[in-house]
Amino acid sequence: MIQFQDLPTKINPIAVSFNGFDLRWYSISYLLVFITVVILISFRIKKNDAQKYFNLNLSFDSLLEILTWLFFGAVLGGRIFHIFLNLNFYFQNPIQTFSPFQNSQFVGLYGMSFFGGLIGALLTGYWLCRKKKISFTSLINFLLPAFPLGYFWGRIGNFLNGELYGKKTDLPWAMNFPTDPENLPRHPSQLYEAFLEGIVIFLILWSIRNHPKLKNQILPLFLILYGIIRFVMEFFRENFDGTYLAGLLTQGQLLSIVTLLFGLFILGYRYENTGSGNFLR
């Protein structure tokens, strides 16, 4: 019988292996992210939420095209930002910058940054809205409530991959991770984040998705919620990226503060400009 504490060590991160091609659960989790978001957006399209609440006259095919662009923008942004935060490693190993192969085996792209993915998705969305002449804020506020549930699968992928585990602890639900060189019980911080940053934020945003006033504040509310929760989660995550301000903040906490402040800035801007409500329109 598998002990609960040793569960991660019994999980094979490779879902399918064929002729040297390894398909990892982590890669499948990215597919689940996209599928989950498409299903939720399809539900909203059928309910005519886009036209009724956001004055978006777009077909499902158009929105599927936009979601595809946003997905690739997020992946590209997440990868570039990760590389930027780890320049020393990639200067020494330039072939791994965008190569999905290691030791002649396909392993996918290792190393992504959520914050970079968020920036990449928002910039891609802004570019698409300018190109298609539609409201950026309306589109983002319409789409965003679905994304946290997709994000849930990303954190599950981290768990199945045995990466981004938490700090050492003696709590009864602590787990051993195969990639931990110390092989000590740790917080399953990936599961904490999957629940809090994924499910909890999804339930909050989904419940207000059509609210007469709050539906137009989805983006800043998401940034604020994620910034706060991620800041707290950093106390449970093992710190792999160094600290700042004399060791007071982790890299993730510093970026969480920036995310939180940006969300507050958007709310403040809209509060001062309630007559227009056209921020980045």
Domain boundaries, the chain: 4-272
Looking at residue 215, what is its pLDDT? 94
Looking at residue 107, what is its pLDDT? 55
Looking at residue 102, what is its pLDDT? 60
Neighbours of 49 (CB within 10 A): 18
Q: Residue 194: which of 242, 167, 229 has the closest Cα?
A: 229
Looking at residue 279, what is its pLDDT? 44
**CA–CA gap between residue 264 and residue 254 (Å, rounded):** 16
Q: What pLDDT tens digit does each residue of the chain (281 aa) get?
A: 457 888 998 999 888 887 767 788 988 999 999 999 999 999 999 999 999 999 998 888 888 999 999 999 999 999 898 888 888 877 877 777 776 666 555 555 667 889 999 999 999 999 999 999 999 999 999 999 999 999 999 999 999 999 999 999 999 999 999 999 999 999 999 999 999 999 999 999 999 999 998 999 999 999 999 999 999 999 999 988 777 776 789 999 999 999 999 999 999 988 777 654 444 44
Neighbouring-strand partners of residue 166 = 237
**CA–CA gap between residue 110 and residue 106 (Å, rounded):** 11
Backbone angles phi, psi at 188, to 5 degrees: -80, 70
Looking at residue 97, what is its pLDDT? 72
Looking at residue 103, what is its pLDDT? 56
Looking at residue 3, what is its pLDDT? 76
Neighbours of 148 (CB within 10 A): 24
Looking at residue 2, what is its pLDDT? 57
**CA–CA gap between residue 109 and residue 27 (Å, rounded):** 9
- DSSP character for 61? H
- DSSP character for 173? T
